[in-house]
Amino acid sequence: MKRRMILSSLGFAILLTISLVLHSCKTVPLTGRSQLSLYPESDMVAMSLSNYDEFLKENKLSTNKKQTDLIKNVGARVSAAVEKYLKDNGFESYLGNFNWEFNLVESDVPNAWCMPGGKVVIYTGILPFTQDKNGLAVVMGHEIAHAVARHGNERMSHAMLVQMGGVALATATQEKPEETRAIFNAAYGAGTQVGLMLPFSRKHEYEADEMGLIFMAIAGYDPRSAVAFWKRMSSNGSGNPEWLSTHPVDENRIAALEKLMPKALQYYQGQ
C-alpha cells in the first residue's frame, strides 16, 4: 500500500512537471525556436536590476567621453532596431520589459553583457577587437540578442526545474535565497559546469550570433563586420575544444556567420 502511494505520488509529480513544461514553452523571436520559460520576465528583470546596481557600485565606469559616447550611440541605434523588429513581427509584449542603459566599464577583460531589462555593459578590454562602430555593433547586437531571446530565463528555468522542481521564483527567492542567487548567476555565465548547462550555452551563442547579425543590419551597420571581428577575437582564444566551452570554436562560429550573411545583407541593403 505504501509503495503504491509512493508510486502514485511520483506519477503525479511527473505529470505535473510535464504539464508545467508544456505550458511554459515560448517562441524565440526571429529564429522561431521553442524554449522553456518558467518565470515571468518581469521577475527576471527585478533580479537583474539588483545585480546590475551592485555591479556598478563595485566597478569603475570609463571616463573616456569619446568611447563612452560611441557605446551609447551604437547602443541606441541597435536597441531601436530591436524594438522595430519586435513591433513589426508581433512581439510587442516584449517591449515593456526593456529600459535600455549602456555603460562602458574599465577592465582589461575583453567582455560584454546584457541583462534582462536591457542593461548593457561593455568592457574597455574588448574595444581593441571591435575597433570601430561596426565591430561594436557586432558585440552590442549579440549581447542584446541574449536578452531578447530570454536565454537567461531559459537556462534558469532548466536549472530550477532540476534543482527545485520548478517552484515559483518568488517562493524560491524567499525560502532559498542563496541557492536561487547561485542559479541566477549560473544562468548568466558564472559558475557553469560541464554537463547539463554547457550545451544550452553553446546553442544560445549560435542563436545570439544569428539574431545579433540581423539586429545590427537593421540598425544600419554592416553585418560583414562580424566575420572580421570574430577573426580578431580568435587571436585571444583559449584554445579549448568546443565541448568544454560556453562559446563556439572560432572557425565554427565564423562558418555559421558566413552561411547567414546573405540573409543579413538583405536587411542591411534595405536600409
CA distance linking residue 115 with residue 120, whole number of Å: 7
And the C-alpha cell for 46? 527585478
pLDDT in tens, 67-107: 999 999 999 999 999 999 999 999 999 999 999 999 999 99
Query: pLDDT value at position 156?
Result: 79
Give me the DSSP letters along 139-190: HHHHHHHHHHTTHHHHHHHHHHHHHH-S--HHHHHHH-HHHHHHHHHHHTTS
Q: Is the pLDDT of residue 51 over 70?
A: yes
Q: How many CA atoms lie within 13 A of 72 on its CB side?
A: 9
Average pLDDT over residues 151-171: 70
Q: Assess whether 143 carries a catalytic annotation.
A: yes
pLDDT in tens, 176-201: 666 766 666 666 654 333 333 444 47
Angle at CA of residue 230, ends 227 and 236, nearest 5°: 155
Higher pLDDT, 127 or 194: 127
Q: How many CA atoms lie within 13 A of 86 on its CB side?
A: 21
Among the ranges given (111-125, 182-196, 232-246), the one the predictor scored with the smallest mean pLDDT: 182-196
**Selected catalytic residue, list 143, 205, 207, 210:** 143
CA distance linking residue 15 with residue 12, whole number of Å: 5
Higher pLDDT, 179 or 222: 222
Query: pLDDT value at position 162?
Result: 64
The CA distances from residue 51 to 8, 47, 57, 253, in Å, are: 41, 7, 10, 30
Query: pLDDT value at position 131?
Result: 96
Q: If we measure between CA atoms, which residue out of 14, 33, 42 comes closest to residue 166?
A: 14
Helices 133-148, 65-88: inter-axial angle, 10-degree rounding: 50
Query: pLDDT value at position 142?
Result: 96
Query: pLDDT value at position 231?
Result: 92
Among the ranges given (174-178, 215-219, 231-235), the one the predictor scored with the smallest mean pLDDT: 174-178
Instruction: Please report, in angstroms and rounded to a whole number, the separation of the first and last CA atoms in the chain.
Output: 70
Higher pLDDT, 96 or 245: 96
- Contacts of residue 226, defined as CB under 8 A and 6 or more positions apart, other chains included, come to 138, 209, 212, 213, 216, 257
CA distance linking residue 185 with residue 50, whole number of Å: 12
